[in-house]
Structure 1
């Protein structure tokens, strides 16, 4: 039975339930707000201006949040120079999650409590999956703030009531569910040997059997896991609220490998390149951390502002591109930590930017989708969406897909002018 998306009632802004003690990823003892040049082992890591093999998928798909295990936000597909809106699908409560694009289909969780599979060509619905068994539109269904992750056979996604859903990729039928005790905000990570991994606000990182949903291990994080996990080989990174440390977890064993002393909160996922983690903080600072050496490579901040950073950076060979609550997208030199340029909007930039060739695309709370030049930050594209955009773009097969917030929220798809 098809659910009428206009009939269910949902309280607005429910997605902003905030777990303030979310993550800790700020090196202790650093009060310097200007960029410092890298030294030692960290300098060698950054000097290798080469894209890491195996990070971005070789296909034009976008199968998970940030398109790769390192969460660098680099598109494998190009986009035409001239973009236009090709189709728009309304969603009653809007969208805050990032879509996945695989084999010409769009997979996206919405706040109305559904996972949608849409045809990338025209936006027509192929199937929908509801977060609860009931098809009664009056019965509340937990929404999806988390991005979808797509494997060869299944779609994995967590909802705001802490349930991990595995859905058949072709039919939309439920395969299994796994209940945690806290909201799931980050994406599911695909691991080798038929396993998946996901963090929960219940203070645990879970490894599950991808086929059955049975728990393989659970690693305590001592606080909510708010984002998606960046992977460096067999290691991932989580933080908690008990003490200021970065916990390095061996995903093969499900055990903590080491602790890196840190202080401060992280409210978005980090990106990883050449064993260096890049991330923003609620104090408006951006850090580059060589986690193996436990060394801060550089730190950047704008002393005139200091607004919260909810954006996960896009990381290229030369730049770290990150949005901020100061209404700007900042381009920071990856080696030196010095700002190259910034692009000002009229609203907070919580959207995580995506690099497509020589352009970077992102949304803003000023209800606009932007595309700017990576070289100098000049504007190359602008679309007035009419609603706030905190979701991040997904790019695949020459198309860009992004959702907007609010009662009149929409799923938007851009491509070549027809």
Structure 2
């Protein structure tokens, strides 16, 4: 199968997201929304785990070249993929047609972080007069924009509320409809990690090692736990357990309801990316180039695998496989049961954008401005030797 390649030079495929035409573009989104990836980590718990899987090997079925490298996360709503780039642009890609249908230059040229609803997209910015915007997907209208502080993490939308963690020590909840603030909570450390929500408890991790459990409805603190190690990675929550990696060498599991430490493990490498977790595994990458899988209940090591370089993404648990990217320019697929290498594909640049899965399509981007879509095929793909230690 020959992949379709799309570049910025195919201007017939590009319609400005805003500002080019006097009337907003009317766009009817594709109908398939069963597997949309509307938030970093797929769900409000940031588990990065789906039941869907792919038969290997995979082949490239589409490729896009953007104006700059793609940010760490992309989101999908109603079959439309929103792609932020590091030079401050936002692209909309129709995943059914594999076409770029809109682009937008963000304010002050800042790279944005995203969250989506079935009908709208939330854009958060690190700098600017306004740093949180809400757009209607179909009509292309800005619904509101506010100054929510400097945001270096992904927003989280739940029902009619959007939660943000601002870099300079505050957590906010805003009404999705009009951007009015519902509550604010102050922390003692900077906030690089995104907020996580489960069972009405908003979990927030700060750079000074403190983790907070807040009542999502009111912002009232339920618990606070000090891990005494810096935290930069977003936690994941599954079955009343909070899993978080530290920027030194630990992965820690806490009780969602009271913040008590259930177990902690020491690793040889620091943890800068979120873990992926399901009923049987919690998988995380370390700066030493190793991907580790633990038993969620006990923290016992189940398997360990090694890439050819530093791991550059959060892992994706997709059925019986684990996907991740590394700075060695490779995309990897491991068998979830034992960590054995099943497939490896070299890309043009270092892989720092978290892989996601939509409608039997594996989506990932690399630093050389390229975004790839891989699909299933009976032929093609590169099989490699087992690299497990």
Normalising by structure 1, report the TM-score: 0.78
Contact 2:322/2:335 (8 A) holds in 1: yes
Aligned Cα root-mean-square deviation (Å): 2.2
Displacement of 1:171: 4.1
Contact 1:195/1:208 (8 A) holds in 2: yes
Contact 1:118/1:125 (8 A) holds in 2: yes
The correspondence for 1:142, drawn from 75, 87, 110, is: 110
Distance 1:240 1:360 in 2: 28
Displacement of 1:122: 4.5
Distance 1:223 1:294 in 2: 18
- Matched with 2:157 is 190
- Matched with 2:101 is 126
Question: What does residue range 260-271 of structure 1 map to in structure 2 within 5 Å?
Answer: 260-271=225-236
Residue segments in structure 2 that go unaligned for 5+ positions in a row: 1-6, 10-32, 379-389
Query: Which has the higher mean CA deviation after the structures are superposed, 246-255 or 368-377?
Result: 246-255
Distance 1:396 1:275, change over 3 A: same
Displacement of 1:355: 0.9
**What is the count of residue pairs matched by the alignment?**
347
- Matched with 1:372 is 334
Distance 2:67 2:305 in 1: 31
The correspondence for 2:146, drawn from 168, 178, 184, is: 178
Indicate whether 1:65 and 2:61 are aligned.
Answer: no
Displacement of 1:201: 0.7
- Matched with 1:324 is 286
Query: Which has the higher mean CA deviation after the structures are superposed, 317-326 or 91-100?
Result: 91-100
Displacement of 1:174: 2.5
Displacement of 1:240: 4.1
Contact 2:206/2:230 (8 A) holds in 1: no
Distance 2:152 2:206 in 1: 15
- Matched with 2:374 is 414
The correspondence for 1:82, drawn from 57, 60, 63, is: 57
- Matched with 1:256 is 221
Distance 1:181 1:366 in 2: 35
- Matched with 1:109 is 84
Distance 1:272 1:158 in 2: 23
- Matched with 1:137 is none
Give the SS at the match of 2:49. coil
Displacement of 1:291: 4.0
Contact 2:225/2:260 (8 A) holds in 1: no
Indicate whether 1:99 and 2:74 are aligned.
Answer: yes
Contact 1:222/1:239 (8 A) holds in 2: no
- Matched with 1:404 is 366
Contact 2:53/2:321 (8 A) holds in 1: no
What whole-Å deviation, never above 9, does each CA across 1:126-154 have from its counterpart, x for those lacking one? Answer: 2122212xxxxxxx51112x3x2110210
- Matched with 1:23 is none
Give the SS at the match of 2:177. coil
The correspondence for 1:235, drawn from 190, 201, 220, is: 201
Indicate whether 1:285 and 2:260 are aligned.
Answer: no
Distance 2:375 2:52 in 1: 12
Which structure's residues are more often strand, by fraction? 2
- Matched with 1:155 is 121
Displacement of 1:331: 1.1
Give the SS at the match of 1:391. coil
Contact 1:221/1:238 (8 A) holds in 2: no
Distance 2:64 2:325 in 1: 18
Distance 1:244 1:97, change over 3 A: closer
- Matched with 1:334 is 296
Displacement of 1:276: 1.2
Distance 2:294 2:273 in 1: 14
Contact 1:203/1:222 (8 A) holds in 2: yes
What whole-Å deviation, never above 9, does each CA across 1:81-136 have from its counterpart, x for those lacking one? Answer: 3311111111232023211123222112111212211011353112122212xxxx
Residue segments in structure 1 that go unaligned for 5+ positions in a row: 7-57, 133-139
Give the SS at the match of 2:272. coil
Distance 1:294 1:416 in 2: 42
Distance 1:155 1:310, change over 3 A: same
